[in-house]
Structure 1
Amino acid sequence: MPIMQSKRLTVLIISTSYPLWPGSVSGIFVKHLATALDAIVDVSVITPAERGIQHNPTLRPRVHAFRYAPDALQVLAHAPGGIPAAVAGHPWQLSLLPGLMLSMLLTCIWHGRKTEILFANWSIPGVMAALAGKLLRKPTVVTLRGEDANRATKRGLHRYLLSACMQMCDAVVVVSQALQRRLTDEYPQHAEKLHMIPNGVGEAFLALPLPKMQTDSLRLIFVGSLIPRKSVSTLIRALALLPLHHTLTIVGEGPEEDALRDLCDSLGLADRVTFLGQKHPEELPGLLAESDVLVLPSLSEGRPNVILEALAAGRAVVASDIDGNRELIGQDERGLLFPPGDVHALTDRLQRLDSSTLRVELGLAGRSYIENCELSWGHAARRYEALFRSLKAG
């Protein structure tokens, strides 16, 4: 008797960040997961529209960009740092949030009628998806990536949204053990809803040749949004204390760029720091291949994908000693940690990496960690599919 194949699930992904044009890095890790999921389930995505952008709705996964304001005002969701950074830089944009949430809810209901699972990313989409799911009687999953919980330590809208997600969603996925512990302590009544599924990393990073022994310049790289919590100024000030042949490449854009350029000029670093701006995600493996050390000096993070990518690439990592970073690096096992915001401690860690032997050892340990833990997008997608099927069966 032939073995019956399981019918492919239909999954609607809801996210406030998702790349709508080639080269955009808005929610790029959501797209990586969506693409991996689309190989095993039928995926469609809803996300806010972006000013002046006409996306191609025929591409896979299918994307529906919903309007929430006149085109000139559709500026809330896709800038570096997402909605929190947009509101912090331009407080008037908070007035756009009710329209975005209402439009998201209506779009969830409309497209949710034809899907079996509603899968949201972050708190705002989580609440809107949960409301739609209750109305449609469809299971709802939300993934929290750290910043939701970090912002919710204060009272206010963020706290309310996180609590509503925990209460209303059928399952809550977290990407780190630290976040799982924090939410278990904060919401013990919902602990059974929590599932830890780490993000993955692309195969292109694992395919890079491992770094060779070098004894000359130290080529540092930072990748991320140029926003206050990334604390790029700490890295620039540390570079000023390092030998002149050490250089820094900054990949990303954001509201702090002008201030960071001014800081480089004031410290006499203009010829040692290169601002590349935003780069297409496919260019990142090549940029890491031309670097010796990834530095992530953030003051807060979830479980940063850029560290996963650097580890897969076999590059040494220096990062601030915060939960998400520490979980990936260990106690100086696959990189070096320093107290957040401590310029002199960061300088010390970078000076230790003048040793090419240590850089190579850390790089080898990082790649082995990625391989041994099966931290690929395909593996993450299969774990999500299993969770979706368990909810549908229940």
Structure 2
Amino acid sequence: MRMNIILFIDSLANGGSQRQLVNLAIGLHQRDHCVTVITYTPLNHHLPRLEAAGVSFECLNKRSKFDLRPVIRLYQAIRRLKADSVVAFLRTPALYAELAGLLCRRTRIVVSERAGITDRGLGKEHYLSGLGHSLATVVTGNSHHYLDALAKALPWLKPKCQVIYNSIDEQFFENGKARSQLEQPPSDSVDSAQSSACRLCVVAARPSEEKGLLPLINAVVQLVDRGITDFSVHWIGPVQDTHPLVSKAQSLIEQHSLQGNWHWEGEQSEVARCYPDYQGLVLPSLHEGVANSLCEAMASGLPVIATDIADNALILGDSGCGLLCQPDNASSLADAMQALIQLPQETRTAMGLSAYQRARELFDEKNCLPQWERVLTPALH
């Protein structure tokens, strides 16, 4: 059944939710649905991908924080495009879509929660957005951990809740396939003198407290103090030198002479090309949903070290593809990093193969897109 689908989000900035929405738009378009992506803030990092795939795009240009015209304009777009379904990512776009849906009762309003929660549980903002979801047809999320907490707090939402994990572009799986065929993947960008050291990457859209930047640097300090120096950590993502957290991090790096073990790699336009240069991923987040970098690294055949938050334990399971550590705990993180660094290369390669196979099971578009189609198809509900 061919559907007219609107995918709605604040912008196409360089964020994980934006990347996931673009992946979904391209995947649904390739499955012969009529897809239009609509935003209201003109930040268009991912727009070239949509244009290359032939996906329609509109920007509603919200003028101020409390400008509610995007609700009316979204309603008008629903009518003009004869949309069967609207999928809204993130909290504010979800609210706008839910309000617009009051005027379009035949259109399915599907909201997608991408948030994580702290160990203190749901906050006031989660309850408020959950109340708004009473107006939605379906509430999706990329984390059992979050949706279970939401349904427990607001039981009437439980029948609407549906977990759909992030889908990963095939180019990441091509990395994993290539790595599985080689004992040690070649890399033109890695100096041969460094090839024996274990290179670990962190991929983050921004350096922030919830991304675990400072616990990670303190873990690196502990490793060096233990006499473990044959490794390096590479932070991939935009970094502003004037950001207070980055300044504090840089002070720690200089104070402990970590310049040989820590590298700011900056923003990369083609993240998929980065993963083959590394032997593992570190995900030190304190709280978030299911991270794109976790899914992408596993698909690329990298063993992972991840904090025990959200669905990370469920995703890694007993597959042998990674190690868990406690969030906001530099010693626990250092222990996990030490364990991975000191493994023989062939063991890390075997872990990476397990990660690739687990990612195929959970994050392959061939599995994720049919789940979205079932959610979006009125005839099945």
Contact 1:239–1:246 (Cα < 8 Å) also in 2 = no
CA deviations on 1:262-299 (whole Å, 9 max, x unpaired) are: 3222221123322121111xx22221101011001000
CA–CA distance in structure 1, aligned partners of residues 273 and 287 of structure 2: 27
Q: Which 10-residue stretch deviates more, 289-298 or 315-324? A: 315-324
CA–CA distance in structure 1, aligned partners of residues 167 and 46 of structure 2: 29
CA–CA distance in structure 1, aligned partners of residues 212 and 117 of structure 2: 19
Match of 1:217 among 175, 197, 209: 197
SS at match of 1:219: strand
Contact 2:201–2:233 (Cα < 8 Å) also in 1 = yes
CA–CA distance in structure 1, aligned partners of residues 282 and 321 of structure 2: 13
Q: Which amino acid aligns with 2:295?
A: L
Q: Which amino acid aligns with 1:262?
A: S
Match of 2:40 among 39, 48, 60: 48
> Is 1:124 the counterpart of 2:95 in the alignment?
no
Structure-2 change in CA distance of 1:386 and 1:39 (3 Å): same
> Is 1:292 the counterpart of 2:272 in the alignment?
no
Residue 29 of structure 1 deviates from its aligned partner by 1.6
Residue 179 of structure 1 deviates from its aligned partner by 2.5
> Is 1:12 the counterpart of 2:6 in the alignment?
yes
Match of 2:174 among 201, 207, 213: 207
Residue 310 of structure 1 deviates from its aligned partner by 1.0
> Is 1:278 the counterpart of 2:258 in the alignment?
no
Residue 332 of structure 1 deviates from its aligned partner by 7.4
Partner of 2:144: 177
Contact 1:220–1:291 (Cα < 8 Å) also in 2 = yes
CA–CA distance in structure 2, aligned partners of residues 169 and 344 of structure 1: 43
CA deviations on 1:109-168 (whole Å, 9 max, x unpaired) are: 12111222111112221121111112022210111123379898222x443122212x11
SS at match of 1:35: helix
Partner of 1:308: 295
Partner of 1:247: 232
Q: Which amino acid aligns with 1:259?
A: K
TM-score (norm 2): 0.84
CA–CA distance in structure 1, aligned partners of residues 131 and 357 of structure 2: 37
Match of 2:114 among 130, 145, 156: 145
**Unmatched tracts of structure 2, length 5 or more:** 186-194
Structure-2 change in CA distance of 1:117 and 1:174 (3 Å): same
> Is 1:237 the counterpart of 2:208 in the alignment?
no
Match of 2:76 among 110, 128, 137: 110
Q: Which 10-residue stretch deviates more, 117-126 or 261-270? A: 261-270
Structure-2 change in CA distance of 1:179 and 1:343 (3 Å): same
Contact 2:199–2:231 (Cα < 8 Å) also in 1 = yes
Residue 378 of structure 1 deviates from its aligned partner by 4.1
CA deviations on 1:12-41 (whole Å, 9 max, x unpaired) are: 11112424xxx7877112111111111121
Contact 2:11–2:41 (Cα < 8 Å) also in 1 = no
Structure-2 change in CA distance of 1:175 and 1:149 (3 Å): farther
> Is 1:330 the counterpart of 2:317 in the alignment?
yes
Contact 2:6–2:36 (Cα < 8 Å) also in 1 = yes
Contact 1:301–1:325 (Cα < 8 Å) also in 2 = no
Q: Which amino acid aligns with 1:66?
A: L
Structure-2 change in CA distance of 1:105 and 1:31 (3 Å): same
The count of aligned residue pairs is 351
CA–CA distance in structure 2, aligned partners of residues 374 and 244 of structure 1: 35
Structure-2 change in CA distance of 1:150 and 1:35 (3 Å): farther
Structure-2 change in CA distance of 1:144 and 1:213 (3 Å): same
Structure-2 change in CA distance of 1:332 and 1:54 (3 Å): closer
SS at match of 2:183: coil
SS at match of 1:240: helix
Partner of 2:256: 267
Partner of 2:26: 35
Residue 239 of structure 1 deviates from its aligned partner by 1.6
Contact 2:173–2:356 (Cα < 8 Å) also in 1 = yes
Residue 318 of structure 1 deviates from its aligned partner by 0.5
Q: Which amino acid aligns with 1:241?
A: Q
Q: Which 10-residue stretch deviates more, 112-121 or 180-189? A: 180-189
**Unmatched tracts of structure 1, length 5 or more:** 1-5, 70-95
SS at match of 1:336: strand
Partner of 1:67: 61
CA–CA distance in structure 2, aligned partners of residues 201 and 257 of structure 1: 29
Partner of 2:207: 226
Partner of 1:381: 369
Contact 2:142–2:163 (Cα < 8 Å) also in 1 = yes
Partner of 1:198: 165
Contact 2:130–2:150 (Cα < 8 Å) also in 1 = no
CA–CA distance in structure 1, aligned partners of residues 336 and 126 of structure 2: 35
CA–CA distance in structure 2, aligned partners of residues 29 and 174 of structure 1: 12
Q: Which 10-residue stretch deviates more, 291-300 or 57-66? A: 57-66
Partner of 2:246: 257
CA deviations on 1:59-94 (whole Å, 9 max, x unpaired) are: 63212122122xxxxxxxxxxxxxxxxxxxxxxxxx
CA–CA distance in structure 2, aligned partners of residues 361 and 315 of structure 1: 9
Q: Give the share of equivalent positions with the same residue, in percent.
A: 22
Contact 1:304–1:325 (Cα < 8 Å) also in 2 = no
